[in-house]
Structure 1
Amino acid sequence: MTDFPPIAFNRAAPAPHFPWPNGARSALFIGFDVDGETAWIGNTPANGDRLVTVSHGGYDGRVGIERILTLLDELKLKATFFIPGWTALAHQAQCVPIVEAGHEIGHHGYLHRRPERGAFEAAREEIDRGFEALDRALGVRPIGYRAPSGENFPELLAYLTDSGVTYSSSFRDDIRPYRHRLHDDRPGPIEIPVNYAFDDWNFGMTSRVDPRPIFGREAVLNLWIDEFEATHSWGGVTTMVLHPQVSGRPMRWHLLRDFLRHVAARDDVWIATGAEIARHYAACEPTSL
């Protein structure tokens, strides 16, 4: 039987209290995971022979990315796009406009393979190839990272730090940013924690190989508004995990627009990219610890 010492897995200090800019009560972080086909082949290579299954991810390049950029332009909002390196290379013509529109690019692995502690070299290769591909396809070296399949481990967190990653947006254990403490006691990246309720994949994606119910507009919109309003009242950050192959679909595009309009109508919410939130946290950190 595997046993674990009764010590918290996350060694980071509690999230400090600091003011949001311009008197805002909370922050909204709009993050898109532009997985493309990697969501379907990264952890299941056999899907490479299943063209209909993989076509779910192909929607990103054919429709989803362009529609999401249109929405953000309409609402005059900036977002962070976490893009696997393979996606940036395979759909370069669709990803370049993300950069040209002034949105932030984040690291999301290379082939969206889930990091495993027992395969550290493979996980490190995913990081290195992701950086190389994003530089080659888009001319950027990201400072933000979202873990493919939402997973991480201590040695990988340290490698991300050594590779110049300033912030992560993967963990689900807080409602405010905090700084990781690495296994060797060095300070690690700033974490902008995720709220799983704002992962659109949970409500709008199903397939033959991963069947799940699809939720309608009112169920999701009401959930998002209620969760946002409660997070806002607590002074937290509402971090969204969105996918063009989900929220770039017609009804869900309108659903996302309605939610973003609801938030943007307030004058006490700071809508910011991950890099902006991380910079603000770092500027406040000396007086908040």
Structure 2
Amino acid sequence: MTYDLSPRPLNPAFEAPPITWPNGAKSALFIGFDVDAETAWIGNNPSNIDRMVTTSHGGYDARVGIAKILELMKELGLKATFFVPGWTALAHPAACEPIVQAGHEIGHHGYLHKMPDREKLEDAFEEIDRGFEALEQALGVTPIGYRAPSGENFPELLAYLAKSGVRYSSSFRDDILPYRHRLADGRPGLVEIPVNFAFDDWNFGMSSRTSPRPLFGRDAVLPLWIDEFEATHAWGGITTLVLHPQVSGRPMRWHILREFLLHVQAKGDVWIATGAEITGHFEHLEGDQDR
């Protein structure tokens, strides 16, 4: 493959339009969980299938993490979007079914959590198809939202997602407002609900024996989250969380997340919504602008 390195915006998406949030809210919060389970450890490194202690990081999702996150969402009266790889849904249906039963949204997160690779288009498309099939088989759902495994995407995949019926993505990191992707042929693509990397709990709460790195506690994480949220709120943007039950479902980190969500709720002027709700609102605003 040759690479076009000519100077140009590398994301040709449409500019984010001015957005007013429902009910007079000043900003929005999108609570998203990536329910990777063991796929976080085997999707891009299949040899880990024979390293049971390594994969047990992901096994925490089904044994403890998912249930504790659902408990927190119920306590606070919140709805979230759970991006579930197809493999996770098939391997742990008893842990994943309560997500649907509690009324939360299920999003697409690939099948085996393989990072999309533009040089392996058929593999990338197969991850999408198998993910849809598995989520329908295990949970009876057809998701409209997608979060890229390992956070990567490319033009052909954006077009394939749109063709497959996906209406929104939550992977890109280049805005504080939702916007509409522009496909390579110029057609409108998915709605993007952009991510702020500061709210990815994996950065602060996950390590491993094979690639050890420091872990960060409450005094480092909670002030960072609050300060970043407060600044985004002042700018009228959307705070998008990238959380993992195998991280934020751990005891101390569960309490960090709880404190953060209570802080947001106490503002009183934040619209807390699922990806589907945010996308529906964005599409409604687009309709108003077209009239």
- With the shorter chain as reference, the TM-score category is over 0.9
Name the structure 2 match of 1:241.
242
Q: Which amino acid aligns with 2:102?
A: A
TM-score normalised by L of structure 2 = 0.98
Q: For structure 2, list consecutive stretches of 5 or more residues without a partner in the other structure.
A: none
Contact 1:201 1:242 in 2 (8 A): yes
Measure the CA separation in 2 of the matches of 1:276 and 1:266. Answer: 20
Structure 1 residue runs of 4+, over 4 Å off?
none
Q: CA RMSD in A?
A: 1.0
Figure out how many residues of one structure are paired with residues of the other and give that number.
Answer: 289
Instruction: Name 2:85's counterpart in structure 1.
Output: 84
Looking at structure 2, the residues matched to 266 and 159 of structure 1 have their Cα atoms a distance apart, in angstroms, of 39
Distance in 1 separating the partners of 2:66 and 2:149: 19
Q: Aligned partners of 1:67, 1:76: CA distance in 2, in Å?
A: 14
CA distance in 2: counterparts of 1:3 and 1:169, whole angstroms: 25
Distance 1:149 1:275 in 2: 21
Structure 1 residue identity aligned to 2:222: L
The residue number in structure 1 matching 2:194 is 193
Q: Contact 1:108/1:130 (CA < 8 Å) preserved in 2?
A: yes
Residue 258 (structure 1) aligns with: 259
Q: Name the structure 1 match of 2:208.
A: 207
- After TM superposition, list the pairs within 5 Å mapping 1:77-226 onto structure 2: 77-226=78-227
Unaligned runs of 5+ in 1: none
TM-score normalised over the length of structure 1: 0.98
Which amino acid letter does the alignment assign opposite residue 87 of structure 2? W
SS at match of 2:161: helix
Cα distance change, pair 58–285 in 1 and its aligned pair in 2 (3 A): same
Amino acid paired to 1:190: V
CA distance in 2, matches of 1:99, 1:287: 32
- Match of 1:117, SS? coil
Identity of aligned residues (%): 73
- Name the CA distance, whole Å, in 2 between partners of 1:13 and 1:201: 30
Q: CA deviation at 1:38?
A: 0.1
Deviation at 1:267, TM superposition (A): 1.3
Structure 2 residue matching 1:96: 3-state secondary structure: helix
SS of 1:190 mapped into structure 2: strand
Moved more, 211-220 or 124-133: 211-220
Q: What displacement does 1:212 show?
A: 1.4
Over residues 102-137 of structure 1, what are the superposed CA-to-partner deviations in whole Å (9 max), with x where a residue is unaligned?
000000000000000000000000000000000000
- Once residues 4 and 206 of structure 1 are traced to their aligned partners in structure 2, the CA distance between those partners, rounded to angstroms, is 35
Per-residue deviation, 1:14: 1.2
1:277 aligns with 2:278: yes
Kindly state the Cα deviation for residue 288 of structure 1 after the two structures are TM-superposed. Answer: 4.3
| Structure 1 position 52, deviation (Å) | 0.3
The answer on 1:50 being equivalent to 2:51 is: yes
SS at match of 1:221: helix
Q: Which amino acid aligns with 1:232?
A: H
SS in structure 2 at match of 1:265: helix
CA distance in 1, matches of 2:3, 2:150: 24
Cα separation, 2, equivalents of 1:59 and 1:221: 23
Query: Residue 39 in 1 paired to residue 40 in 2?
Result: yes
- Report deviation, 1:3: 5.7
CA distance in 2, matches of 1:37, 1:163: 26
